[in-house]
Amino acid sequence: MKIIMLGAPGAGKGTQADKIAEKYRIPHISTGDIFRANIKNGTELGKKAKTYMDQGMLVPDELTVDLLMDRIAQPDCEKGYILDGFPRTIPQAECLDEALSSRGEKIDYAVNVEVPDENIINRMSGRRACLSCGATYHVAYHAPAKEGICDKCGSDLVLRDDDKPETVKKRLSVYHEQTQPLIDYYKKAGVLKEVDGTKPMDTVFADIAEILGA
Ligand code: AP5
Ligand code: ZN
């Protein structure tokens, strides 16, 4: 099963993608997590990506598309995957479609997690992220067992550099301009599914699991 998670920054794509990955035993691939791992490891790609991410802008397609294509060609992707944060532009979606159709494959579901802009800033300011394993928490809605420490790997949790309110506003405007058109793109392809992302996390997941089937 090949699934794309769509939605504004902070809509809960990563939270839901983790749950889907666990239930359906397919990898969760987040381009944001891949960039953050590169930043942490001080790679050339990480240095380039950071300059865009810190400003709330998209990393250019030429740095993003090949990276994603290499990742989905790995053996663990044979049974499918969940893409979280990719595609983010129409050209990225077209590249993905071309690569898949050349292998006789296609996207099965594009799940759009809908959350109004007014809820997003509150979610982002309470988010805490683990830069070691990519896990995400929220101080009010999904707190770790021990404050400031990742339940999964024991590393410190941080407020992401791009989660400051000014940067979140920029990310939202970039989302509306460059990423929201993908909703129509996947609607036309007949694979779009919408879920209400303002509900509690487990309810959102139950709604997604109903769409995806057992
Ligand atoms: P990326 O890491 O993809 O960030 P994003 O899309 O902005 O999404 P987020 O990770 O911020 O949010 P999310 O929807 O996953 O929400 P989460 O589950 O954490 O990208 C970062 C940057 O990398 C981009 O700005 C760009 O520069 C670059 N980039 C990445 N991919 C790219 C690409 N393809 N092309 C170009 N550039 C790219 O949830 C948010 C918070 O809310 C959490 O604290 C969570 O616990 C909480 N929460 C979740 N669900 C609920 C709920 N139902 N109720 C209450 N709280 C909830
Ligand atoms: Zn961790």
Domains held by the chain: number:
1
Domain assignment present for 188:
yes
Q: What is the mean pLDDT of the chain?
A: 95
Query: Is 171 labeled as catalytic in the residue annotation?
Result: yes
Domain assignment present for 22:
yes
Cα distance between residue 74 and residue 211, in whole Å: 27
- The residue type of 168 is V
Looking up residue 31, the CATH number of its domain turns out to be 3.40.50.300
Beta-bridged to residue 3, according to DSSP, are 82, 109
Instruction: Name the residue range of residue 7's domain.
Output: 2-116+179-212
Domain assignment present for 186:
yes
**Dihedral, CA of residue 71, residue 75, residue 81 and residue 84, to nearest 10:** -20
Residue 26, pLDDT above cutoff 80: yes
Domain assignment present for 23:
yes
2 is in an annotated binding site: no
Domain assignment present for 200:
yes
Cα distance between residue 141 and residue 69, in whole Å: 34
Can you give the pLDDT at residue 104? 93
Domain assignment present for 153:
no
142-180 pLDDT per residue, tens = 999 999 999 999 999 999 989 988 899 999 999 999 999
Catalytic member of 160, 164, 170, 187 = 160
- Say which residue the tokens 């000014």 belong to: 166
Cα distance between residue 88 and residue 30, in whole Å: 12
Domain assignment present for 78:
yes
Pick the residue whose CA is nearest to atom 17 on ligand 1: 12
Q: What angle do CA 187, 18, 26 make, to 5 degrees?
A: 80
Rounded to two decimals, the ipTM of the complex is 0.95
Pick the residue whose CA is nearest to atom 1 on ligand 1: 32
Pick the residue whose CA is nearest to atom 44 on ligand 1: 127
Q: What residues line ligand 1, using a CB cutoff of 6 Å?
A: 7, 9-15, 30-32, 35, 52-53, 56-59, 64, 85-86, 88, 92, 123, 126-127, 136-138, 141-142, 162, 171, 197, 200-201, 204
113-148 pLDDT per residue, tens = 999 998 998 899 899 999 899 899 999 999 999 999
The alpha carbon of residue 203 and the mean position of all alpha carbons in its chain are separated, in whole angstroms, by: 19
Residue 214, pLDDT above cutoff 80: no
Can you give the pLDDT at residue 1? 95
11 is in an annotated binding site: yes
Q: What is the mean pLDDT of residues 78-100?
A: 97
Domain assignment present for 55:
yes
